[in-house]
């Protein structure tokens, strides 16, 4: 439970920050795919969710790798 809280403590604030840092990527993605990714108020909601999903996957993989090496 503590590991989950620690993971969420950095994933939750890192998600929006990373999404905004990736603004040029989201603009490129929209130009290439036609998916509405950016607007006048910033990245679309799905961009934030996608970034959070990737961060959670990375956190899970890091935890899994650390457990395998330790045990």
Question: What pTM, to 2 d.p., does this model score?
Answer: 0.86
Of the pLDDT bands very low, low, confident and very high (cuts 50, 70, 90), residue 3 is confident
- 58 in any annotated domain: yes
* Domain containing residue 64: 44-71
> What total number of domains does the chain contain?
1
- 22 in any annotated domain: no
- 37 in any annotated domain: no
Residue 26: CB atoms within 10 A of its CB come to 21
Q: How buried is 56 (Cβ within 10 angstroms: 0-12 exposed, 13-18 middle, 19+ buried)?
A: middle
- What is the per-residue pLDDT for 65? 93
Quote the mean pLDDT of the chain. 94
- 56 in any annotated domain: yes
- 52 in any annotated domain: yes
- 68 in any annotated domain: yes
- 29 in any annotated domain: no
- 19 in any annotated domain: no
Q: Which tens digits make up the pLDDT trace of 30-71?
A: 999 999 999 999 999 999 999 999 999 999 999 899 889 987
């Amino acid at each position: 439970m503590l590991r989950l809280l620690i993971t969420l403590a950095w994933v939750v604030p890192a998600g929006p920050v990373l999404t905004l840092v990736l603004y040029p990527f989201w603009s490129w993605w929209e130009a290439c795919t036609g998916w509405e990714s950016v607007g006048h108020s910033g990245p679309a909601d799905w961009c934030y969710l996608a970034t959070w999903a990737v961060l959670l996957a990375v956190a899970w993989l890091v935890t899994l790798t650390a457990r395998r090496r330790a045990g």
